[in-house]
Amino acid sequence: MSAATKSSAKVGSRIETRRAFIFLAPALFFVLVLFIIPLAYNVLISFFDWSAIGRKEFNGLENYLKVLTSERFTNAAGNTIYFTVLAVPIGVVLSLIVALGFNTLLITRVTGFIRALYFAPVVASLTAVAFVWLWIFNPAYGLANGVLGIFGVDPQPWLTDESQAIPSLAIMYIWARLGFNVIILLAGLQAIDRSYYEAARIDGAGPFRMFWSITLPLLNRQLVLVISVEVMNAIKLFELPFVATKGGPVGSTRSIVMEIYELAFRADRWGEAAVYVIFLFVFLLVVTGLIRKLFTRDIAE
């Protein structure tokens, strides 16, 4: 015991190391079982003509060729990217505006209550969100067309129209995610030392200049986090179209994860589904890498 208690030494003793790994063992086990093995397994499956019940034959890059040239893939990838490009920037900018608004207010019980209003939708599951809005967007009985009717606007088809379906899903998604982003951005804003603004004001900087050269760079970390998390969630798009549109109309809301589900669990074409997964990962890596790069340059200026 006494040898191990000398933990103030620079390097841990052998006993300490052993203890550390005993304490870490369950976590490392799950890292292996939940992440590393599935990732490797997925890569393996992608090289096979893989049926859950029958044959499992190595077929090289055939799945990749088949998937990347299929219209099904380009459609799903296109829909998912369109959704992401629509939902994430609008969602983040809106969150930033709301967070900036809250940041001007004193923290009181009242503002705490108002903030709670924004956070309320966050606690709903995406499944529930889909039903909430499926009902609101109901062309005949829905609230959305009811409200439009008051202003004399013609009823809209919303989720039942090819060109309106993805924007409608984006509205649902932004609604569900706004509060979460506001909280993170607001915490970042409140951590900014106000003396920067005092100094800038003495130098004669206007509000927009202060926003660009103080607020944005110092909010960098939270912005990167929010954008990365949003992109990740948007790219995983599944529940909203699965529930609200079933991928329709005419496949206009079929997402990558929906195709993964359909291919593997409905069509028993696991090898091709695994290729979709790999595409998802590569895409996510590239995008989050780009976000990081873009924003670190920002702060350097």
Partner 1 sequence: MTTTTPQTPVTSTPAPAQAVPLRRDRTPLGPLLIKVALILGGCLLLVPLVWVILSSLKRPDEILQLPVKWLPENFFNFSNYVQLFSQYNFGQYMANSFLVTGLGILTSLVIALFAAYAFAFYRFPFKEPIFLLVLALFMVPQEALVIPMFLMVSGAGLNNTYIGMAFPDLFTVLGVYLLRQFMEGIPFSYVEAARMDGASEFRILTRVITPMVAPAIVVFVIIKFMFTWNTFLWPMLIAQDERMYTVTVGLVNFAGSEFNQWNLINAATVISMIPTIILFVTLQRYLVRGVAMSGMK
Interactions with partner 1, residue window 25-84 (CB under 8 A): 26-28, 30-31, 33-35, 37-39, 41-42, 45, 52
Could you say which residues in the range 232-271 bind partner 1, by CB under 8 A? 232, 235-236, 238-239, 242-243, 257, 260-261, 264-265, 270
Could you say which residues in the range 141-180 bind partner 1, by CB under 8 A? 141-143, 145-146, 149, 175, 178-180
From residue 206, how far is each of 20, 92, 193, 198, 301 by CA, in Å?
54, 24, 18, 11, 19
Nearest one of 271, 287, 258 to 65, comparing CA atoms:
271
Q: Which is nearer to partner 1, 37 or 153 (CB)?
A: 37
Give the Cα separation of 80 and 74 in Å (integer). 10
Which residue in 47, 118, 158, 173 binds partner 1 (CB under 8 A)?
118
* Alpha carbons within 13 A on the beta-carbon side of 192: 23
Which residue in 211, 217, 220, 248 binds partner 1 (CB under 8 A)?
211
Which residue in 60, 78, 89, 206 binds partner 1 (CB under 8 A)?
206
Which residue in 20, 153, 282, 294 binds partner 1 (CB under 8 A)?
20
CB 140 within 8 A of CB 195: no
114 contributes a contact to partner 1 by CB under 8 A: yes
Number of residues in contact with partner 1, rule: CB under 8 A? 119
Q: Which is nearer to partner 1, 82 or 281 (CB)?
A: 281
Q: Which is nearer to partner 1, 81 or 243 (CB)?
A: 243
CB 169 within 8 A of CB 245: yes
Q: Which is nearer to partner 1, 138 or 164 (CB)?
A: 138
Which residue in 63, 228, 252, 255 binds partner 1 (CB under 8 A)?
228
What is the residue whose two structure tokens read 């829905």?
142
We find the least distance from the C-beta atom of residue 151 to partner 1, in angstroms, to be 14
11 contributes a contact to partner 1 by CB under 8 A: yes
What is the residue whose two structure tokens read 């799903």?
76
Q: Which is nearer to partner 1, 74 or 111 (CB)?
A: 111
Q: Token pair of 17, please?
A: 């190391």
**What contacts 275, CB < 8 A, 6 or more positions away?**
46, 63, 64, 66, 67, 68
294 contributes a contact to partner 1 by CB under 8 A: no
Alpha helices in the chain (DSSP H): 2-5, 14-31, 37-46, 62-68, 71-104, 109-119, 126-136, 143-150, 162-190, 195-202, 207-210, 216-218, 220-235, 239-244, 256-261, 270-300
Q: Which is nearer to partner 1, 5 or 296 (CB)?
A: 5
CA angle at residue 181 from 179 to 182, to 5 degrees? 65
From residue 187, how far is each of 117, 183, 190, 223, 231 by CA, in Å?
17, 6, 5, 11, 20
Q: Which is nearer to partner 1, 85 or 124 (CB)?
A: 124
12 contributes a contact to partner 1 by CB under 8 A: yes
119 contributes a contact to partner 1 by CB under 8 A: yes
